[in-house]
Structure 1
């Protein structure tokens, strides 16, 4: 699959997720096999571009290409300015968010709420495509609500506006992340378009990725929540698509080493205090379904220093690797 001049290989992509797909996580997922990683959503409001959060989101130094940055907003001119600003700061692909179902985003008529105004969608897409010399992609849902699946109309608008690739989450906005993703709408859209289509929603295993590609005819799959605490899913999917064979699950020692490197990158990227806090959600995802998970989280979440967080994590996974019950201390 190509997006502009970029070959996206393997054809498995990390979905943009607010508060998750920061630079340390994107770099990790690319190292573990993702063909493309989209940044977490960045605002088109220039008043917030110089906040600490925005500066971190716009930091792409040392990040493997291609660098995809997602922007969000409602005003075509502001989104065009945001696209230019992010390209100036290293973005090689601009992605437009029309898929986020979060209430605070939709209440501002951004994210998937934009799908209710097809004329505004067209103005936004045309403005952003005209503003930058890099490929512009779009992420949408199947529609706003049950009975309002207008994704095929939005898709045709996108192609006519010069969008380089379209990602579709197989749910309406009002479904949020409940129920089961449906792929019929994605298949219908793929049959009508000449631009690449990326299927998203409930892709949580190599076999499911292959099934969704077969059902939809999509050019690639996009993985979101299933990558949380399991970033090696990208190499698993890539291997299965290439060979038809499943890789063995990573060993506990493999998981330990991946996690410790991830924690160290978070500490270095955000500074110790913020990095320790931000790492806590990742620790919970990595330890999910493992022995003594609740006790481990209760202790490690009280760690206030990078050294303590790393030590507790290493000791926990070392015990699991040795086949013994982890000795969870009473306090960090």
Structure 2
């Protein structure tokens, strides 16, 4: 406090200004698409990223890679994330991304799955820090956008080199660093170790924002980690799948120390409908309907005896049919007092590699 004026520390990523202790939606393959990002934005995500995009795919003009470049003004600030293990390809991909005008460009040095990491991209680059620096430098020089990086502690227990990585990447010009508190070899096993993330944040040489990632599944843990590790913000991935309200709940708890009640049945149905409509609009009716089938369990978790409704939802073939059943659910459970169900951090490896 200065007099009666409270000083609020804002977080800066290049020319992007975020609120104090921002909450970031992690880039997740097959999850962080525009329909999902839209509901997370509504519930409080301060900065979001696209699914990761192959630099080689962008250069080849692959349809799937190009489709992932779709961003919308209501999402801002929004970052596009790319991955690759070749300097020239990453540089060319960065130039392509630049034209789409996101707010920042993020480089993925964290994806642990074999099809990425064992081909020398994603977390595979953690085996060669000199290469990681060269790849990052090539991107920084290829774009006018702020460049950020998401990575892990190291390749394995013997190579937890994140402190060196942070200094060297900052030296070549990145504007923020997100760190998942596991090595590549851990995948998602065990508990995320935030102690090294704290060491990076507390390094007097580091002046860029440091965001922590891994195992945040409740408002209480978010606030505890904020105080214990001193990070500038938190990146949330798996906890938001099927429960985008995690952002709203964390913000409220950090500000007040009070837990919000869980979302009502009406809120759950409304968000589910918005996600469904966005999915159909962006992907088409067939793919949009099919890919939503894995989302209903999360949105409806905590409702008693919901299995029969879920079984119906996953076989329906038109948006109208799905919305009819969702309306039935809202009517059947009207006025029910929702109980808080624990958020399950699914071990989703190949499905959602970040």
TM > 0.5: yes
Q: Is the 8 A contact 2:110 2:123 kept in 1?
A: yes
Is structure 2 residue 136 aligned with structure 1 residue 125? Answer: yes
Give the alignment partner of residue 119 of structure 2, picking from 85, 108, 117.
108
Q: How does 1:1-12 map to 2 (within 5 A)?
A: 1-9=11-19, 11-12=22-23
Q: In 2 relative to 1, CA 49–224 (structure 1 residues): closer, same or farther, beyond 3 Å?
A: farther
Q: How does 1:248-267 map to 2 (within 5 A)?
A: 248-267=261-280
Deviations 1:295-316 (A, max 9, x none): 3333211111111122223322
Q: Is the 8 A contact 1:260 1:314 kept in 2?
A: no
Residue 323 of structure 1 deviates from its aligned partner by 4.5
Is structure 2 residue 159 aligned with structure 1 residue 148? Answer: yes
Aligned to 1:286: 299
- Aligned equivalents of 2:314, 2:60: Cα separation in 1: 30
Question: Secondary structure at the residue paired with 1:95?
Answer: strand
Aligned to 1:64: 75
Deviations 1:66-110 (A, max 9, x none): 120110110111111111111211322001001111121112111
Gap regions ≥5 residues in structure 1: 325-332
Q: Is the 8 A contact 1:22 1:57 kept in 2?
A: yes
- Aligned equivalents of 1:289, 1:130: Cα separation in 2: 49
Deviations 1:103-122 (A, max 9, x none): 21112111111111011001
Q: In 2 relative to 1, CA 174–242 (structure 1 residues): closer, same or farther, beyond 3 Å?
A: same
Q: CA RMSD of the aligned region, Å?
A: 1.7
Aligned to 2:102: 91
Is structure 2 residue 215 aligned with structure 1 residue 202? Answer: yes
Q: Is the 8 A contact 1:183 1:215 kept in 2?
A: no
Aligned to 2:87: 76
Residue 267 of structure 1 deviates from its aligned partner by 1.0
Deviations 1:227-259 (A, max 9, x none): 011101111111222222222211111111111
- Aligned equivalents of 2:116, 2:16: Cα separation in 1: 30
Residue 266 of structure 1 deviates from its aligned partner by 0.9
Give the helix-richer structure, 1 or 2: 1
Comparing 5-14 and 36-45, the one that deviates more? 5-14
Aligned to 1:191: 202
Q: In 2 relative to 1, CA 258–165 (structure 1 residues): closer, same or farther, beyond 3 Å?
A: same
Q: In 2 relative to 1, CA 323–90 (structure 1 residues): closer, same or farther, beyond 3 Å?
A: same
Comparing 119-128 and 97-106, the one that deviates more? 97-106
Q: Is the 8 A contact 2:25 2:235 kept in 1?
A: yes
- Aligned equivalents of 1:224, 1:199: Cα separation in 2: 11
- Aligned equivalents of 2:44, 2:274: Cα separation in 1: 16
Q: How many residues align?
A: 324
Comparing 69-78 and 299-308, the one that deviates more? 299-308
Choose between structure 1 and 2 for higher RCO, CA contacts under 8 A separated by at least 6 residues: 2
Q: Is the 8 A contact 2:268 2:300 kept in 1?
A: no
Q: How does 1:217-232 map to 2 (within 5 A)?
A: 217-232=230-245
Q: Is the 8 A contact 2:37 2:75 kept in 1?
A: no
Aligned to 1:319: 332
- Name the TM-score, length of structure 1 as normaliser: 0.93
Q: Is the 8 A contact 2:58 2:96 kept in 1?
A: no
Question: Secondary structure at the residue paired with 2:185?
Answer: helix
Residue 49 of structure 1 deviates from its aligned partner by 5.6
Q: In 2 relative to 1, CA 104–151 (structure 1 residues): closer, same or farther, beyond 3 Å?
A: same
Gap regions ≥5 residues in structure 2: 1-10, 338-354
- Aligned equivalents of 1:280, 1:88: Cα separation in 2: 34
- Name the TM-score, length of structure 2 as normaliser: 0.87
Comparing 166-175 and 51-60, the one that deviates more? 51-60
Q: Is the 8 A contact 1:48 1:54 kept in 2?
A: no
Residue 30 of structure 1 deviates from its aligned partner by 1.3
